[in-house]
Chain A
Amino acid sequence: MNRWLRVVLPSWQTVFMLTILLQLLVMLPDFYSLWRFSHFRRLGLEPPVEFYKLAAHMPMIVAVIYGAYRAVAFNPAVRPEYRRWLERTPWTSDRPLPLGPITLVAQDFVILVGLMLLAACPSMAFHDQLIIERVVEGFFGGYLLFGGAVLASKKETHFAFVIGIGLGAILRTSQSPIVCGTTCFLTYAVMALGIRQSLRRFPWTDPESDEPWMLKLPNDTGSSVASRFGWPMYALSAKWRPAESLRTGWDGFYLSLLLGWWWYASNWLITENAISSGRQLDLPTPMLMLVVGAAILMRLATYCVERWPPISLWGRIRSRRWIIPGYDKVLIAPLINLALVVGFGMWLKNITRTHSDPKHWIDLYVGPVFLTLNLLIAFCAPPSIRNFHLTGSYRLVYANKGPTSVKVG
């Protein structure tokens, strides 16, 4: 049994360390009591009820961690040394992976059932049926989230997008066990297809660091392509590629839709919980604005950090060149974003004044649409970073000097 399970389980040292860590977390109130009153569980000072709730959720937390671990542990896409070794072997995708499977196997279900039994254990003070189901959701959530991200990094964008939609659907259907379980299973089926497709393309070529012309060296680990060539050698070469920091094109389109969908699904869950517990929920508008603000800043940084305006602001004012079309085109998208934010804020102010309780539908429907629209503009509006880099009127500067860059002269 032990040997059979070893196919998927992490090493016993990892399991032991994780158990200790989680146990320490559960015993936090005891340690507090020991520090404050010099002995465990001083009479009259019971730990808050949340700690027991946390203890009851431990099997679910372990399931999330295990799911994430299963998605990446034996995946050559996230283990460079394993991948390099595998590239030198006659391995093909119709054979099992040497270190262990990425798709789920019978052993995973044994471990999952074990965790569910633990969650159902009568000694768990706050156990109920939902916590048992949360173990399943947690496992698939962790597995699909990390697995989907790995697939996205390997350019299996369509599969990653469907998995992302599935993750949102798991959140959205989490109150109905059968629908949620079916969603988990269907999303997993897509993930399994994606993994198969991805392994079929092995050995992979990464767009940025695995170009055939790239001189691959052991000391390149962690260094960006630009830093390997200095400045301005790479920035002015025909082989310049945008960094992956800003997802554009289909990636940006999918990401915008996904984030909107996740926003809706998580809001729905939060609202449901708030209604069932009889609590009043505040509008998540500030957080929404924060996300949109971050997207605007990310776009501006990607376009403008290394590409400054050809003349200074003072120069513009003095020479009355208010607008430089070749450069200022990058500011159009952020300005539209800003106008939408201001417009949305004003509309929100107006609607809360005229309607007695509009919060519920704004959170659930207007917020996600607003977010998606803004992200679509931030990620996909022209010009693309490639187009701006090649045709924009800017002054190229070396803004991302690393500690290893040396200046000549």
Chain B
Amino acid sequence: MIELTDVTHHYGVRPVLKQVSLRIETGELVAVVGPNGMGKSTLLGVMGGALSPVEGSVAIDGRRRKGSEEEELEIRRRTLYLPDQPWLPGFRTVREYLLSVGRLYDIPDSRLFEHVERLLELFELMPQADQPISGLSAGQKKKVALSSALLTDVSTLLLDEPFSGGLDPAGLLALKRILRHRVTSQKATIVLTSPVPEIIEEIADRVLILRDGQIVAFDSVNGLRQSTGLSGSLGDILERLLYPETADKLTKYFQEPTQ
């Protein structure tokens, strides 16, 4: 369970998050959506411990983030945050890196070796398994980063743009299935950001819509349909809630110039 209370953050003068309060239940997959620069990554960074909010607090499974050494260590054992653009050790091979991360999160060796093999197979990384990470393509590096996150047994996964960064259709499909599996069968709590409404509609239990650092809506897709009175896809709902001016702009764009 993740609970944010009155979280406010700004890097410079412009507030990126404004008194955000929310509660994400255990075993729930929440997708954060919103226009660029509206605080999605900041929100995940604050939850993940990479950023400290200027005001407010974050609690994960009842423990306050950075509240005390013991609380923070316990949160770290149960939580993994993968930013949009993480860094990987280029000199290590894919297999070495995944095994290292597994050890970092105390996965028993017997299970770790077997899980690494399954992930390599799933993400079609087997031919590159013993190659240095530096020689991989952008999409393959993204798969390695995601594999490292999925390898762990943590109960809370915070993934910033996991579906971006050059993932191929097979990778997208595999990731969607694994994330749903983690939520349904392992009761994991997952928070992710994505700009693709179709993917969110398919996997998310609830959708958190952010605009100007504030929560515009936080509900299931059906709940959003009811509250907006729209019966279309999540894309249509987002258009109404976030980008009402986009339809007008498109109409203008396609209009033939009058002579």
A residues whose Cβ falls under 8 Å from a Cβ of B: 213-215, 217, 219, 223, 227-234, 236-240, 310-312, 314-315, 318-319, 321, 324, 326-327, 386-387, 390-396, 398, 401, 404-409
**Does B180 count as interface, using CB distance less than 8 angstroms?**
no
**Does B138 count as interface, using CB distance less than 8 angstroms?**
yes
B103 near A215 with CB under 8 A, answer: yes
Query: Given A229, A230, A232, A386, which contacts B50 in the complex, CB threshold below 8 Å?
Result: A232
A408 near B100 with CB under 8 A, answer: no
A236 near B49 with CB under 8 A, answer: yes
B9 / chain A contacts, CB cutoff of 8 Å: 310
Of the listed stretches B20-28, B61-69, B181-189, chain A binds B61-69
Using known A-B contacts A326-B52, A390-B69, determine if residue A404 contacts B76 with beta carbons closer than 8 Å: no
Q: Which residue on chain B has the smallest CB distance to residue A314? A: B12
B104 near A213 with CB under 8 A, answer: yes
Q: A230-B88, A404-B90, A407-B85 known; 11 other A-B pairs, CB under 8 Å?
A: A229-B100, A231-B86, A237-B104, A311-B54, A315-B10, A390-B72, A391-B68, A404-B89, A408-B138, A409-B85, A409-B138
A408 near B87 with CB under 8 A, answer: yes
A/B interface sample: 24 pairs, CB < 8 A: A213-B103, A228-B89, A229-B97, A231-B87, A232-B83, A233-B148, A234-B104, A236-B49, A238-B73, A240-B76, A314-B12, A318-B13, A327-B52, A391-B67, A391-B68, A394-B52, A395-B11, A398-B87, A404-B90, A404-B91, A408-B88, A409-B138, A409-B164, A409-B166
B161 / chain A contacts, CB cutoff of 8 Å: 409
Q: How far is the CA of A398 from the CA of B45 in the complex (A)?
A: 14
**Does B218 count as interface, using CB distance less than 8 angstroms?**
no
A315 near B11 with CB under 8 A, answer: yes
**B residues 80-106 with Cβ under 8 Å of A?**
80-81, 83-92, 96-97, 99-101, 103-106
B165 near A409 with CB under 8 A, answer: yes
Using known A-B contacts A231-B86, A310-B54, A394-B52, determine if residue A238 contacts B101 with beta carbons closer than 8 Å: no
**Does B145 count as interface, using CB distance less than 8 angstroms?**
yes
B166 / chain A contacts, CB cutoff of 8 Å: 409
Using known A-B contacts A396-B50, A405-B87, determine if residue A232 contacts B81 with beta carbons closer than 8 Å: yes
B51 near A215 with CB under 8 A, answer: no
Q: Which residue on chain A has the smallest CB distance to residue B105? A: A237
A404 near B134 with CB under 8 A, answer: yes
How far is the CB of A205 from the nearest CB of chain B, in Å? 15
Query: Given A312, A390, A404, which contacts B66 in the complex, CB threshold below 8 Å?
Result: A390
B10 near A311 with CB under 8 A, answer: yes
Q: Which residue on chain A has the smallest CB distance to residue B77? A: A238
**Does B213 count as interface, using CB distance less than 8 angstroms?**
no
Q: Which residue on chain B has the smallest CB distance to residue A211? A: B103
How far is the CB of A5 from the nearest CB of chain B, in Å? 44
Q: How far is the CA of A229 from the CA of B81 in the complex (A)?
A: 14
**Does B208 count as interface, using CB distance less than 8 angstroms?**
no
Q: Which residue on chain A has the smallest CB distance to residue B85? A: A409
Q: Which residue on chain A has the smallest CB distance to residue B107? A: A213
A408 near B86 with CB under 8 A, answer: yes
B138 / chain A contacts, CB cutoff of 8 Å: 408-409
Query: Given A319, A324, A408, which contacts B165 in the complex, CB threshold below 8 Å?
Result: A408
**Does B142 count as interface, using CB distance less than 8 angstroms?**
yes
Using known A-B contacts A219-B91, A310-B52, determine if residue A233 contacts B69 with beta carbons closer than 8 Å: no
Q: Which residue on chain A has the smallest CB distance to residue B100? A: A215
**Does B34 count as interface, using CB distance less than 8 angstroms?**
no
Q: How far is the CA of A119 from the CA of B13 in the complex (A)?
A: 72
Using known A-B contacts A386-B69, A393-B66, determine if residue A236 contacts B50 with beta carbons closer than 8 Å: yes
B90 near A395 with CB under 8 A, answer: no
A217 / chain B contacts, CB cutoff of 8 Å: 92, 96
Q: How far is the CA of A90 from the CA of B77 in the complex (A)?
A: 37
Query: Given A223, A314, A386, A409, which contacts B91 in the complex, CB threshold below 8 Å?
Result: A223
**Does B48 count as interface, using CB distance less than 8 angstroms?**
yes
Using known A-B contacts A215-B96, A396-B51, A406-B141, determine if residue A229 contacts B91 with beta carbons closer than 8 Å: no
Using known A-B contacts A213-B106, A326-B52, determine if residue A401 contacts B87 with beta carbons closer than 8 Å: yes
B84 / chain A contacts, CB cutoff of 8 Å: 409
A404 / chain B contacts, CB cutoff of 8 Å: 89-91, 134
How far is the CB of A224 from the nearest CB of chain B, in Å? 10
A406 near B88 with CB under 8 A, answer: yes
Q: How far is the CA of A233 from the CA of B145 in the complex (A)?
A: 10
**Does B133 count as interface, using CB distance less than 8 angstroms?**
yes
**B residues 212-232 with Cβ under 8 Å of A?**
none
Q: Which residue on chain A has the smallest CB distance to residue B12? A: A315
Q: Which of A219, A231, A319, A408 has the most CB of B within 10 A?
A: A408
How far is the CB of A183 from the nearest CB of chain B, in Å? 43
**B residues 178-213 with Cβ under 8 Å of A?**
none
A395 / chain B contacts, CB cutoff of 8 Å: 11, 50-52
How far is the CB of B97 from the nearest CB of chain A, in Å? 8
Q: How far is the CA of A408 from the CA of B142 in the complex (A)?
A: 6
